[in-house]
Amino acid sequence: MNKPQNKPQRWQKAGRRDSGPEELLRKREPFCVAACNRFLHRSAFHDHLWVLRDREGAVEALLLHSNRSFFPVFRDLSNIPIPHFLNRLIRNNPIHAVQGLWEDALVLENIIGDFGIYPIESIDYDLMALDREPPADSFNAGPPGLVIRRPESKDMAKLLPLQAAYEQEEVLPYGAVFNPASSRAALEHILSREHILCAELDGRMIAKVNTSAESFTRCQIGGVYVHPDYRGRGIAARICAELVRSILPTGRGVSLFVKKRNSAARSVYRRIGFEILSDYRISYY
């Protein structure tokens, strides 16, 4: 019996001039900004991209491997053929994470589990998006005297404690050891290449927010951190709203993902207009 015409056949390595992966990523962009960002900045030597095609050659799913992390984009397919090449790749290059829509990530986790490799921690998120300016009252949030501005390189020393605290509180997986040098390098990258704002009150730097990825038509917000002594005063809502307002004139929408267990942050994002698109998941190995 012939297979249905719309079923994918097998995984194939994608060439750099192959237009199929970009077409699929553009179609799914609001749901996979991080994957789009890695696709746009992938290295010919260290990154790998595989695709599933139907009988007519159209790409129906893809799997991106970048910096020891996997980004699956295949949610609409009910039966993904097992990518057996993963076994050798993972044995030679220890996996760091799987990241994507909840169903995509879980399917890939199960496949990797068949090779005897399991995550040490899995975190579920709400994937959210905003394509219009936040409500006017968002820009009045926060205590009197709050100053929101773009930091400069000379602000590095003031920003480093916030960046380090953010990474230790929100980023590092279970059992990971904080690396000050890596944290500083990450902040240097943010200052030179990303949208970033900081908040000051009475001369003290107390909060920061930045973008962490950029796709074809969207920016992804990350790095949102308010010093514990100043939380619950509307500072996160204000600084995030200001960053969104600075991005929208570039013609890009804004995305983010927030931990489901972080009810305070989820409330902040809803307050400034973000809406939930889907469930998201990152599993660390």
Q: Which amino acid is at 8?
A: P
Per-residue confidence (pLDDT) for residue 56, from 0 to 100: 87
Q: C-alpha angle with apex 78: 75 to 81, nearest 5 degrees?
A: 95
Q: From CA 131, how far away is CA 133, in angstroms rounded?
A: 7
Per-residue confidence (pLDDT) for residue 27, from 0 to 100: 96
pLDDT digits (tens, 9 = 90+) for 101-150: 999 999 999 999 999 999 999 999 999 999 999 999 999 999 999 999 99
Per-residue confidence (pLDDT) for residue 8, from 0 to 100: 57
H/E segment holding residue 208: strand 204-214
pTM of the model: 0.91
Under the banding of pLDDT at 50, 70 and 90, the label for residue 43 is confident
256 alpha carbon, distance to own chain's centre: 7
Per-residue confidence (pLDDT) for residue 2, from 0 to 100: 45
Looking at the predicted structure, is the pLDDT value of residue 90 above 80? yes
Q: From CA 285, how far away is CA 264, in angstroms rounded?
A: 27
β-bridge mates for residue 125, sequence order: 259, 280
